[in-house]
């Protein structure tokens, strides 16, 4: 069976693998050639787009020059000459009305020019036509000179205008006073200024603002191969506000003509990757960090006299561009996977039905024999093999339960034997020592009576009596441990009982500024000896207080399951080393300093819990401290009461 399977598998791989590699290699080569052609086509589209924009801007420049030389503007020269001297021409309003009508007609015929201005030599606006609305004479300047806009006091802008040479078309950035774009990105295109000259004499300046509407129309019909998105941004190092400003963006729906757009910047565009790329190279392509998008970009200088460039970029999703090849490759892989899977299914059918389950069973049995007693099998294969695997699981579970019960019974027997033997010895020693101690106390009292009250020996006798009483108290605890008084079972409210017990230990906690936090809600009842169980809980609380640092917290939590009532005591101490955990219930074993404990508290507590058919467990917490758990069976689960012995 195994030989037939191997032969069939190798024949399948020998025929399928070379064919798969050949087809995938051919597909990869075709994909690379396609990428080269796509890069060339997209770059060609960007260059054609630049040519279209450049032709439009050239047309606008020629139109502005012709308009500045138009007879209607030159006929307005007397007004400009008088305005340069600060005088108002007598026919100012008549001539201004005639010129504004001409400019409004021109603006309606030739689209794309949003604002037309005529400025005098001091850069004051005499006439303004904005989106078909004519303005002149609405603002008073010096000596009540009427202007179309507020008198300009921007010396830098005025000096820039004065630097314009004859027959020179200049691009300039409007000051905020003439635009009012505070908080917005401002004009997307620079204003065009051309001097008004007559008989070789400067009369003023003709200024035109383009809203970019015609460029938007060019971009709207521009081809976008592979669903590319276009982006145009301005690089203007001399003006930080405009440097990196987004002028047009398909993704954000930003247009040149959108005057209300926010000040988006290329530095924040896709984590600044494109911004960093254009700083290093003016033309090229950028594959973003995620590897999914590629940006093709070129730069273009739209203004003849400015060191300002536009970066025109096309962002393409490679998943869209290469989707045909991905579909082809996915289809090839699916066909190959299906063929291989079918071959493996046929080849391994017999092996999986018989040999594989048996081999798995053999492996699990070896692991179980090696000590891994938790290993189990999920039944598989034919009915007979599944039955065999199920029997193995049942056998392992039975052995595991028997081993656990045996260990628990042995521990209980050893602990009981240890407590009984030590208790008998302790009872004998206690009785033998009690009589001498009582004689010492009696003789101490007689000696004190026969001595003067101010005698120096009084203090020594007091110390002797105190030590005798302390020894007597230790012996009393030993005798109580030895007697093992049987419990008197009653039902009582556990939450009320816990709070009463905590009150008894609160004084010791207050001395160390320790907070006792209780979590016990509802009406829950415990069946047992209230006084003896209180002794257990007090022992646990005093141990927790002793082990916890000052100003910490001890938690007392009550949890109830279907079969047990559990009381948890969690302290904030350092815990107990693992090697000492097995000794904490031994009589006379203690971690407290000499004179602060007899080592019988946990031993007595363990005996009380056993007589209640319960258990007492100590374990170190994962973070810090120790957790003690008193576990008592609920009343409905008690099958019989423990044997009471005197």
Spacing of C-alpha 26 from chain mean position: 43
How many domains, the chain? Answer: 4
Domain finish residue from 483, 510, 536: 483
Distance, CA of 397 to CA of 199 (rounded, Å): 115
pLDDT band at 202 (very low <50, low <70, confident <90, very high): confident
Phi, psi of 584 (to 5 degrees): -65, -25
The residues facing 248 across adjacent strands are 232
Between 136-150, 186-200, 490-504, 529-543, the lowest mean confidence (pLDDT) is in 136-150
pLDDT (mean) for 636-644: 48
Please say if the pLDDT value at position 465 is more than 50: yes
**Has residue 260 been placed in a domain?**
yes
Do 517 and 474 have their domain in common?
A: no
Do 224 and 182 have their domain in common?
A: no
Domain finish residue from 441, 456, 483: 483
Please compute, for residue 257, the number of CA atoms within 13 A of its CA located in the half-sphere on the CB side.
16
Secondary structure class of 104 (helix, strand, coil): helix
CATH number, domain with residue 258: 3.30.450
Do 196 and 104 have their domain in common?
A: yes
Residue 235: per-residue pLDDT: 93
Distance, CA of 327 to CA of 164 (rounded, Å): 61
Distance, CA of 74 to CA of 201 (rounded, Å): 12
Please give the structure tokens belonging to residue 374: 């938790």
Domain finish residue from 415, 450, 483: 483
**Has residue 16 been placed in a domain?**
no
**437-464 tens-digit pLDDT:** 777 777 777 777 777 776 767 777 777 7
Do 307 and 408 have their domain in common?
A: no
pLDDT (mean) for 507-521: 88
pLDDT band at 371 (very low <50, low <70, confident <90, very high): confident
Q: Report in angstroms the alpha-carbon separations of 427 from 430, 441, 585.
A: 5, 21, 18
pLDDT (mean) for 22-36: 81
Secondary structure class of 63 (helix, strand, coil): helix
**Has residue 3 been placed in a domain?**
no
The range of the structural domain enclosing residue 277 comes to 214-321
The residues facing 229 across adjacent strands are 315
DSSP 549: P
**Has residue 339 been placed in a domain?**
no
Distance, CA of 120 to CA of 124 (rounded, Å): 6
Distance, CA of 419 to CA of 484 (rounded, Å): 10
Residue 331: per-residue pLDDT: 78
**Has residue 351 been placed in a domain?**
no
Distance, CA of 246 to CA of 250 (rounded, Å): 11
**Has residue 340 been placed in a domain?**
no
**Has residue 508 been placed in a domain?**
yes
User: How many Cβ atoms sit within 10 Å of the Cβ of residue 571?
Assistant: 26
pLDDT band at 302 (very low <50, low <70, confident <90, very high): very high
Spacing of C-alpha 413 from chain mean position: 54
- CA angle 158-162-166, nearest 5°? 145
CATH number, domain with residue 122: 3.30.450.20
**99-153 tens-digit pLDDT:** 999 999 998 888 888 889 998 888 888 899 988 888 876 666 555 678 888 777 7
By C-alpha distance, which of 177, 159, 58, 59 is closest to 117? Answer: 177
């Amino acid at each position: 069976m195994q030989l037939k399977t191997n032969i069939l598998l190798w024949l399948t791989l020998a025929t399928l693998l070379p064919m798969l590699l050949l087809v995938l290699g051919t597909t990869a080569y075709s994909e690379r050639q396609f990428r080269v052609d796509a890069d060339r086509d997209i770059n060609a589209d960007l260059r054609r787009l630049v040519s279209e924009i450049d032709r439009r801007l050239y047309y606008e420049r020629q139109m502005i020059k012709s308009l500045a030389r138009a007879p209607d503007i030159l006929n307005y020269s007397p007004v400009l000459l008088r305005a340069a001297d600060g005088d108002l021409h007598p026919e100012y309003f008549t001539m201004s009305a005639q010129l504004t009508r001409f400019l409004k007609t021109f603006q309606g015929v030739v689209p794309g020019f949003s604002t037309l201005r005529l400025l005098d030599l001091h850069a004051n606006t005499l006439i303004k036509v904005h989106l078909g609305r004519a303005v002149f004479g609405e603002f008073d300047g010096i000596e009540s000179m009427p202007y179309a806009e507020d008198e300009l006091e921007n010396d830098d802008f005025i000096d820039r205008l004065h630097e314009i040479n004859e027959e020179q078309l200049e691009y300039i950035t409007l000051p905020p006073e003439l635009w009012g774009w505070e908080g917005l990105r401002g004009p997307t295109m620079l204003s065009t200024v051309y001097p008004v000259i007559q008989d070789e004499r400067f009369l003023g300046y003709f200024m035109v603002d383009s809203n970019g509407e015609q460029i938007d129309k060019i971009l709207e019909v521009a081809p976008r191969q592979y669903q590319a998105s276009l982006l145009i941004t301005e690089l203007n190092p001399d003006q930080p506000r405009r440097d990196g400003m987004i002028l047009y963006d398909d993704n954000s729906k930003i247009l040149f003509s959108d005057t209300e757009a926010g000040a988006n910047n290329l530095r924040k565009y896709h984590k600044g990757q494109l911004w960093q790329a254009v700083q290093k190279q003016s033309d090229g392509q950028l594959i973003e960090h995620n590897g999914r998008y590629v940006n093709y970009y070129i730069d273009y200088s739209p203004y003849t006299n400015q060191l300002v460039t536009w970066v025109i970029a096309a962002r393409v999703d490679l998943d869209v561009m290469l989707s045909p090849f991905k579909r082809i490759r996915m289809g090839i892989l699916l066909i190959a996977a299906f063929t291989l899977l079918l071959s493996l299914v046929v080849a391994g059918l017999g092996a999986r039905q018989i040999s594989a389950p048996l081999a798995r069973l053999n492996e699990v049995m070896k692991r179980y024999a090696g000590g891994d007693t938790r290993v189990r099998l999920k039944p598989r294969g034919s009915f007979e093999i599944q039955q065999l695997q199920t029997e193995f699981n049942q056998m392992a579970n039975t052995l595991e339960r028997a081993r656990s019960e045996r260990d628990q019974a042995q521990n209980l027997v050893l602990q009981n034997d240890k407590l009984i033997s030590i208790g008998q010895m302790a009872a004998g020693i206690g009785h033998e020592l009690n009589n001498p101690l009582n004689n010492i106390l009696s003789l101490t009292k007689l000696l004190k009576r026969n001595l003067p009250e101010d005698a120096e020996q009084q203090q020594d006798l007091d110390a002797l009596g105190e030590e005798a009483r302390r020894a007597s108290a230790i012996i009393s605890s030993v005798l109580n441990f030895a007697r093992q008084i049987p419990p008197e079972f009653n039902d009582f409210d556990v939450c009320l009982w816990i709070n009463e017990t905590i009150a008894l230990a609160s004084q010791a906690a207050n001395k160390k500024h320790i907070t006792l936090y209780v979590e016990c809600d509802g009406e829950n009842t415990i069946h047992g000896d209230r006084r003896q169980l209180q002794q257990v809980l007090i022992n646990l609380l005093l141990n927790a207080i002793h082990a916890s640092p000052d100003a910490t917290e001890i938690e007392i939590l009550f949890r109830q399951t279907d079969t047990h009532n559990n009381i948890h005591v969690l302290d904030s101490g350092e815990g107990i080393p693992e090697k000492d955990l097995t000794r904490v219930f031994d009589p006379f074993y203690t971690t407290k300093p000499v004179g602060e404990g007899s080592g019988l508290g946990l031993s007595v507590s363990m005996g009380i819990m056993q007589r209640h058919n319960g258990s007492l467990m100590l374990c170190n917490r994962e973070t810090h401290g120790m957790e003690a758990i008193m576990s008592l069976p609920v009343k409905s689960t008690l099958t019989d009461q423990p044997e009471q012995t005197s």
